[in-house]
Amino acid sequence: KHLWNSAKANELYATMIIVNINESLHSGKNPQLLQDSILLAEKHFNRILELGVKSYSANANLALINMLYKKNIKNALYHFEEATKLATDFIGKEEEKKLYYYYGYCLMQSKEYEKAKSYFEHVCKLDSFNLMAYNLWSSAEYHTKSFDKAIAINRSLIKKDFGGIQPYLNLAMCYMEKGDKNAGVKYFKKVLGMQPGNKIACWHLAEYYHAIGNTDSAKYYTGKMKERYDY
């Protein structure tokens, strides 16, 4: 009972510090005070685990502290893994989305693309309009050369009229990497129809036309990259 009470006291104090950290980020307070608060919160969450308490909250918060503030991806991944083991229905849908999204994002940073896929897919099942999760899921499929899956993801976004130009850019990149240059060019040009002068589309089109010896088109798209547009 004493250990449990001590753990709860540490959790309450650390959670209050996290609330203050979030408020400080929005108010632009002294960066050194912010850093000190982060280290203090980390100390109290670690204390909970040192007491032998299996705490979802401590692991989830330590994962975020290590990923977002300390940039320690190895430690972040460890705590994300522990948090997912301890996560149960009580954490709620919003917390579950947050946990799986950031775990997937952390896996992307460590280039564990194959493992990241399932976490983003899970987030998208919970929230069918989470564009960032869809984009990262598509990116994970792209990096593992699962181009057909990435194409299907982006086509589903276009079908829902969701995501603006991003699904078209993603499709263009996938088709180019897959070797279907005609489809890739088609979608890059669709992007330019929606956003004239888009530098990513212009650069890829300039590269493509240069590679096939069409210097006029290559110069045209190189020139469009230098133009300024008001969107």
| Prediction pTM value | 0.83
- pLDDT higher than 80, residue 5: no
Number of Cβ within 10 Å of residue 106's Cβ equals 24
Indicate the helix (H) or strand (E) that contains 170.
helix 166-178
Local confidence band at 18 (pLDDT 50, 70, 90 cut-offs): low
Q: Is residue 155 part of a domain?
A: yes
Q: Is residue 141 part of a domain?
A: no
Q: DSSP readout, 111-147?
A: T-HHHHHHHHHHHHHH-TT-HHHHHHHHHHHHHTT-H
Q: Is residue 224 part of a domain?
A: yes
**In terms of pLDDT, which residue wins out, 16 or 67?**
67
Local confidence band at 226 (pLDDT 50, 70, 90 cut-offs): confident
Domain span holding position 160: 151-231
CB 194 within 8 A of CB 165: yes
Which pLDDT does position 204 carry in this prediction? 97
Distance between CA atoms of residues 165 and 171, nearest Å = 10
Q: Is residue 207 part of a domain?
A: yes
Q: Is residue 227 part of a domain?
A: yes
Could you read off the pLDDT of 152-202 as tens digits, one per residue? Answer: 999 999 998 888 999 999 999 999 999 999 999 999 999 999 999 899 999
Could you read off the pLDDT of 108-165 as tens digits, one per residue? Answer: 999 999 999 999 999 999 999 899 999 999 999 999 999 999 999 999 999 988 889 9
Q: Is residue 146 part of a domain?
A: no
Q: Is residue 191 part of a domain?
A: yes
CATH of the domain at 188: 1.25.40.10
Q: How many structural domains comprise the chain?
A: 1
Could you read off the pLDDT of 27-86 as tens digits, one per residue? Answer: 555 556 567 778 888 888 898 898 888 889 899 989 999 998 889 999 999 999 999 999
Helix, strand, or coil here: 70?
coil
Q: Is residue 83 part of a domain?
A: no
